[in-house]
Structure 1
Amino acid sequence: DLEQDIAGLLRKYNKNVILTVNKVDNPQRLIQANEFYGMGFQNVCFISAISGSGTGELLEEIIKFIDAPAAPSTDGLPRLAILGQPNVGKSSLVNMLVGEERNIVTDIAGTTRDSLHSHYKLFQKEFIIIDTAGIRKKAKVNEDLEFYSVIRAVKSLDEADVCILMIDAQTSVEKQDLAILSMAEKKRKGVVLAINKWDLVKKETNTMKQMEEDIRRKVAPFKDVPVVFTSVKEKQRVFKVVELALQVHDNRKRVVDEKELNEKMLKSIEQFPHPSVRGQFLQIKKITQVPASSPTFIFEVNFPNDVRDSYRQFLDNKLRAHFNFTGVPLNIFFRKK
């Protein structure tokens, strides 16, 4: 029959063959499928494409026959994830930076399905850049493939150090952009806002300044974040985006000298003390930065559970004023002294 003819043809070429039997989706069919061993192939896999059963074993068999060159180590390199809504120019940015068409670029939203990693090493800069599928509202994700692509995009944020959030300058910051920003902040990732398609915006004297003020108002309280207006198509301020992202990466790794930290922060606290609570004054005597993936500070205070959120924000602002933590969410904890 046809299968035997194809098998005979494959044997002539002396190639590695994996016989894959589909629709094996129950124990009865698995028993029946054993007859395919009679075709004489060493590697036989039973799968069910509709349920995914057996596909993992098939991939493992395929990998055995792939001689991939050893990839250079990328441990310790900054990892920049490009996130945003569909069709804001994420793939165009990656293609421009790496100098090749790694990603398909069209005007159709949702073209990028997988998260693609590119190793950039030019002009004395080296980092990993991750392009992701566009993240849109759940109600608008109506394809299974796109649904899983969005999940992979969200997971890409977990392995990134800095998120470059690309926003369409024609629509400015939308609700979904704020949701992505909030997700990056909760995961304690560095953030750069890249406002793309700036060439398509009708400009007046203070258009850029007014739009930046509007953006910072919308992203409050996380306002200490770099904002750069760019046009990937016109190659306008593209490398500025990268420079800011690498600076944010350095900010995220910053360790402050403990003596300098206490001198500057305790002086600010002395000038603006916490309001009294139940007739008791809150006293902060020492601040310590502890090792963590993002800057983390512990304030020793006599009543840690009574510190108000507004004063926590005050301390956050002062840390940023004294030390450069632009684009980086800060962790602030209070401990009884």
Structure 2
Amino acid sequence: DRDARDEQRSLSPLKATKDAIVIDTSTMNLADSIDLLMSEISQSSDFASELEDDQVEIGNLQFLDEWLPVVAILGRPNVGKSTLVNRIIGQRSAVTEDTPGVTRDRVSYQAEWNGRNFIVVDTGGWDSKATGLYEQVARQAEFAITQADLCLLVIDASVGATDDDLLLIRKLRESKIPILLIANKVDSPKDESDASSLWNLGLGEPFLVSALHGRNAGDLLDLIVKNLPTEPQRFKTHLGSNAVAILGRPNVGKSSLLNHLTGQSRAVVSDIAGTTVDPIDEHVRIGDTDWVFIDTAGIRKKFKQDSGHEYYAVLRTQGVIDRADVVIVLIDATEELSDQDRRIINLADEAGKGILICFNKWDLVDEDRRISLDREIDRDLQQQRWIPRINISATSGRSVLKIAPALEMILANWRRRIPTSELNKLIKEFVMENPHPLRGGRQAKILFATQVATSPPTFALFASRQLDDGYVRFLERRLRENFEFAGTPLRFKQRIRNEK
């Protein structure tokens, strides 16, 4: 009734005005909808030139306001994982075929059952002997384990458990995540005897389903909801605290730094590389700021060659980066900068996290080593000069007190928002002083810019043509010169005006 009354109003929120631009977002997510909206705005030069700060403050995109538990669907290729995912979420969203290996990435879907919302993650088939692309598929499946609150191991009951199933079970047990054993393709009561051998896997009673026909699907959903945690279990974080991950190569002193920051022996310290396996959280209050410091396992150059708990620990460490606000990259100052050090910095940079580099064991560095280290920094970190550096000794505590103020500064920059008027004033001056090079006899030009997100700062550039990567990097340097962005990466999204 209320909608019917609203439709009759002369100015109705349910009716478009005569001069309105109608945008169909029924098949888009929130981010794509905003991108399309900003693209339409950019093509209206009169409107774009008159935009004020209060008209364009979009803010961070938060797609989910509540924490939702994560259920990962795992198994060998072609055991029916994607079909089961479709059955759980109640729609055909995951692509399914009889051909093994159709799913090649981990894909998340939101599901609901009996009023309980949760996330379902569909993964590619896990194969211990996979190579090339399918090896990456298997790695993605293993990474999904690190993010899950509950794992569903799907086995083809008509085939039974294979050697790969046994190896995957071993990895799941190492993760210490709750596991439900699902015997799929039990299409009728006469097929139930095929699943009896799965009792020997030591995972309890196998739950018999037919994902294709929906047999026992409702009971399975009841079981899933029953086993879901009511609050975050794997990564509990103190509300209002800032998460800081401590990353570095094995035996670089991460646990020693954590112990010094917390004032207690929270992490095991040893001269043996790889002592830390599980990410360790420690809540610390420094001044008026609450922090959660996370000590992690060392990241190796070729971590896929690690076995057992060490290999799995590195996968969990990569998951820690995703939930951190700032990453402290700890580097052994007595050794030459390595590929591992650069890889860790790049991982944090690509994840869009604030970064602080700490050169540890500085009390053991002589003058010659300091000179050579400066050369290595100039050579290897040329594109990342925006990252602050502190020279410390984690064992003696030298300069450790400088870390907290540096983290506060990086966090402030990571969350910084530039008013649109100031941003476009700088862009206008930049374009006048530095015209874009001609490409094909035509010149690209930035028409309008706005900051569409923070954490990290992300800017949308509305341009007449595609901008060169070098030109965008030049613009990034100018932004850093004029605004305080030390310690945070910057992101740029180009929106090209449609040619008419």
Q: For residues 302 and 142 of structure 1, do their structure 2 counterparts lie closer, same or farther at Cα, with a shift above 3 Å needed?
A: closer
Residues 126-184 of structure 1 deviation map (CA, whole Å, 9 limit, x = unaligned): 11111100111226853311011111111100100111000000113210111111111
C-alpha distance in 1 between matches for 2:435 and 2:372: 35
Question: Tell me, what secondary structure is at the counterpart of 2:281?
Answer: strand
TM-score, normalised via structure 2 length: 0.52
Superposed, 1:1-337 pairs within 5 Å as 27-28=196-197, 30=199, 46=204, 74-138=238-302, 141-203=305-367, 208=370, 211-212=373-374, 214-303=376-465, 305=466, 307-337=467-497
Contact 2:237 2:292 in 1 (8 A): no
Shift of 1:185: 1.1
Residues 63-84 of structure 1 deviation map (CA, whole Å, 9 limit, x = unaligned): 99xxxxxxx9723422110000
Question: Tell me, what secondary structure is at the counterpart of 1:249?
Answer: helix
Shift of 1:122: 2.9
Contact 1:212 1:227 in 2 (8 A): no
Contact 2:301 2:339 in 1 (8 A): no
C-alpha distance in 2 between matches for 1:47 and 1:133: 34
Residues 187-225 of structure 1 deviation map (CA, whole Å, 9 limit, x = unaligned): 111111110001111126xx6476345314312312211
Question: Tell me, what secondary structure is at the counterpart of 1:121?
Answer: strand
Q: Could you tell me which amino acid in structure 1 is paired with residue 310 of structure 2?
A: E
| Number of the residue aligned with 2:81 | none
Q: For residues 73 and 149 of structure 1, do their structure 2 counterparts lie closer, same or farther at Cα, with a shift above 3 Å needed?
A: closer
C-alpha distance in 1 between matches for 2:267 and 2:455: 30
TM-score, normalised via structure 1 length: 0.76
Q: Could you tell me which amino acid in structure 2 is paired with residue 311 of structure 1?
A: Y
Question: Tell me, what secondary structure is at the counterpart of 2:411?
Answer: helix
C-alpha distance in 2 between matches for 1:332 and 1:97: 35
Shift of 1:287: 1.3
Residues 13-43 of structure 1 deviation map (CA, whole Å, 9 limit, x = unaligned): xxxxxxxxxxxxx835849x9xxxxxxxxxx
| Number of the residue aligned with 2:214 | none
Q: Could you tell me which amino acid in structure 2 is paired with residue 224 of structure 1?
A: W
Q: Could you tell me which amino acid in structure 2 is paired with residue 111 of structure 1?
A: T
- Runs of 5+ consecutive residues of structure 1 not aligned to the other structure: 1-25, 34-44, 49-56, 65-71
The alignment's C-alpha RMSD in Å is 2.9
C-alpha distance in 1 between matches for 2:314 and 2:292: 20
| Number of the residue aligned with 1:53 | none
Q: For residues 151 and 198 of structure 1, do their structure 2 counterparts lie closer, same or farther at Cα, with a shift above 3 Å needed?
A: same
Q: Could you tell me which amino acid in structure 2 is paired with residue 149 of structure 1?
A: A
C-alpha distance in 2 between matches for 1:220 and 1:265: 24
Question: Tell me, what secondary structure is at the counterpart of 2:318?
Answer: helix
Number of residue pairs matched?
Answer: 280
